[in-house]
Amino acid sequence: MITAFADWLQGSAPILALAPMQDVTDLEFWRLIHRYGGPDVYFTEYFRVHGTSTLESWILESIVENPTGRPVVAQVIGGDLDAMVRSVRQLQEYPVAGIDLNLGCPAPVVCRKSAGGGLLRDPGRIDVLLAALREAVAVPLSVKTRIGYDSAADFDRLLGVLARHRLDCVTVHARTVVERYRSEVRYEFVKRAVGALPCPVLVNGNVFSAARAEAVLEATGARGWMIGRGAIRNPWIFEQIRCRRAGRAVPVPDGRAVLEYVEGLLAATSAPALREASHIQRVKKHMNYIALGVEPTGRFLHAIRRVTTIAEFLRLCREHLDHDRPLLLEPFAVPLGPRDILAGEAGC
């Protein structure tokens, strides 16, 4: 696996990566999305690292039991230098293809601890941290970052820091931390990163179709894509991109194919002894994204968020999806409140 990922990085073929999304892109989701073609490389949910942390068992499970046959990169988040070094050394005892440092999570609880996107307020701290990680990491070392904390004014300085540490890959989500997911993605910053960094750069943010993926790659010169929310909504997206690039017909699912996927998600989010209400809450984390691609008014999104039973959930999904009409699953401009999770901090 390690060699396979290194070969992807050193080659010229575009890379398709699944973005890590906390409490969403877990082992069971990997099993499901792999059935639809899946990405070339999977990034884990982030391991929370601090002075007394241990490696989360459920994330380790996705590494050890990886059912896809594709490389797995372990993502870490934190700001404690000694703890980070300790954790990445422990992670390398498992079959990881690389280590990825999260410099982008906009969740306030993370940023207050000077972790994730919060570290972007202190490029000097990032410099020290990357120096220590580069010494401790023998597998490919990568970074997933935003373009700044509350502005992109220091982006060039950040690129200079990243360039100093022999990184193997950098993923750029071209929004600031405080913008979260509300603004347009500024792909010109990805292009700047491509020009400034000696390693492959992946583009992240608002890649929701094969056509969009191709346009973004052409505009930025990136080596590939890291896709999160677009893959939750449309698990066919990785295969659609491959087909478009190969000149083959791009598969478009109909409503019943999407319904089958949703039923698969319902099964994937179940667990022994999990109460029905808790199960519904788990699958709603995925349905938030899927609902944006089903119909334009927001009625389905509004209704699915309010179901409380599996029977009600299935009835509503069948009402909207039990048909043979094609669904592009590209997001509609569904009206969202300013504090809506889809416009806020979800999806680190």
Write out the DSSP string of 253-313: -BHHHHHHHHHHHHHHT--TT--HHHHHHHHHHHHHHHHTTT-SSSHHHHHHTT--SHHHH
Q: Are 235 and 241 in contact (CB under 8 A)?
A: no
- Whole-angstrom distance, CA of residue 216 vs CA of residue 237: 14
- Whole-angstrom distance, CA of residue 41 vs CA of residue 140: 13
Strands (DSSP E) along the chain, which ranges?
A: 15-18, 41-43, 47-48, 72-77, 98-103, 141-146, 169-173, 201-204, 224-227
Any catalytic annotation for residue 105?
Answer: yes
Rg of the chain over all Cα atoms, to the nearest angstrom: 19
Which entry of 105, 169, 199, 348 is annotated as an active-site residue?
Answer: 105
Q: Which residues are catalytic?
A: 105
